[in-house]
């Protein structure tokens, strides 16, 4: 995959052009995952959009520096906006799954004129209250310490393992497993310490100015619990919700055709 950014802070991306020059949609994955989170969706999406997958710092083919400050929301937003500039994309639809959804919200708050809309997929990171974010902060500190001490292997026994859902197709499972096995302790610990504790923008949600499509896999109980509060924080009429009853956290992979229909 091509890389964008300064050495040591580069993010990996892939561009899938639309034959007719369709509008760009950028896809951001979640914690411990990679662009493989959208592998099953790219073919359908590129019939309507120019698709750009972006891998967060510390994930996939992106660099994984030691300094947690480099992973913060501000630098993450700057990299995405810089990539848009480098690719000549003035205005895009920004889609984020889980942690990627929270980063997408930060982008839209920082530069609303650059985004035609947001697609948020099962992102408790974006939807959680300040109390939720505080609890996540404590949990991520413990996780980072354990990752640095033990490595990343133990995460395969947790819900943070991106390939854990039994509803994934085999190809997606293989790709997610491959990319998970490439993760480094520095990349995951840096994300856990530098990004996740600070990316939630619940109190600023009333400032959002772009349309929001929320795709909610109903079997993800954590997200469904915080979804009503998230919607209440958004300006009236800004959000549309599509609930997928047979999907969990990886809603776009567990019910891919329904997800694609909602976005298209």
What is the average pLDDT across 157-184? 90
Residue 19 has pLDDT above 80, yes or no: no
Strands 50-54 and 239-244: unpaired
Q: What is the CATH number of the domain that holds 258?
A: 3.40.50.1820
The count of other CB atoms within 10 Å of the CB of residue 30 is 25
Angle at 124 between CA 59 and CA 204, to 5 degrees: 100
Rounded Cα gap, residues 255 and 245, in angstroms:
9
The string of pLDDT tens digits covering residues 28-45 is 999 999 999 999 999 999
Domain count, the chain: 1
Residue 236 has pLDDT above 80, yes or no: yes
Strands 11-16 and 3-4: antiparallel
12 DSSP β-pair partners: 3
The string of pLDDT tens digits covering residues 50-92 is 999 999 999 999 999 999 999 999 999 999 999 999 999 999 9
pLDDT of residue 135: 87
User: What is the residue range of 126's domain?
Assistant: 3-263
pLDDT of residue 47: 94
Distances (CA, A) of 35 to 39, 62, 122, 145, 149: 7, 11, 16, 26, 27
Q: Who has greater pLDDT, 136 or 43?
A: 43
């Amino acid at each position: 995959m091509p890389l964008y950014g300064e050495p040591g802070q580069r993010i990996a991306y892939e561009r899938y052009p639309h034959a007719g020059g369709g509008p760009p949609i950028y896809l951001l994955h979640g914690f411990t995952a990679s662009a493989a989170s959208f592998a099953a969706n790219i073919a359908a999406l590129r019939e309507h959009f120019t698709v750009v997958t972006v891998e967060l710092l510390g994930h996939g083919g992106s660099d994984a520096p030691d300094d947690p400050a480099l992973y913060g929301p501000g630098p993450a937003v700057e990299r995405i906006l810089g990539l848009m500039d480098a690719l000549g994309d003035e205005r895009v639809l920004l889609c984020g799954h889980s942690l990627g959804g929270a980063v997408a919200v930060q982008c839209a708050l920082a530069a609303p004129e650059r985004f035609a809309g947001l697609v948020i997929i099962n992102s408790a990171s974006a939807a959680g209250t300040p109390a939720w974010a505080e609890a996540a902060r404590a949990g991520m500190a413990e996780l980072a310490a354990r990752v640095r001490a033990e490595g990343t292997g133990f995460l395969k026994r947790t819900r943070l393992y991106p390939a854990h859902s039994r509803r994934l197709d085999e190809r997606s499972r293989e790709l997610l497993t491959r990319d998970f096995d490439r993760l480094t302790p520095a990349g995951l610990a840096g994300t856990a310490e530098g990004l996740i504790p600070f990316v939630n923008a619940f109190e600023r949600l009333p400032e959002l100015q772009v349309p929001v499509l929320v795709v909610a896999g109903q079997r993800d109980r954590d997200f469904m619990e915080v979804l009503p509060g998230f919607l209440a924080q958004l300006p009236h009429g800004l959000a549309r919700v599509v609930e997928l009853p047979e999907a969990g956290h990886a809603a776009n992979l567990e019910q891919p055709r329904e997800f694609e229909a909602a976005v298209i």
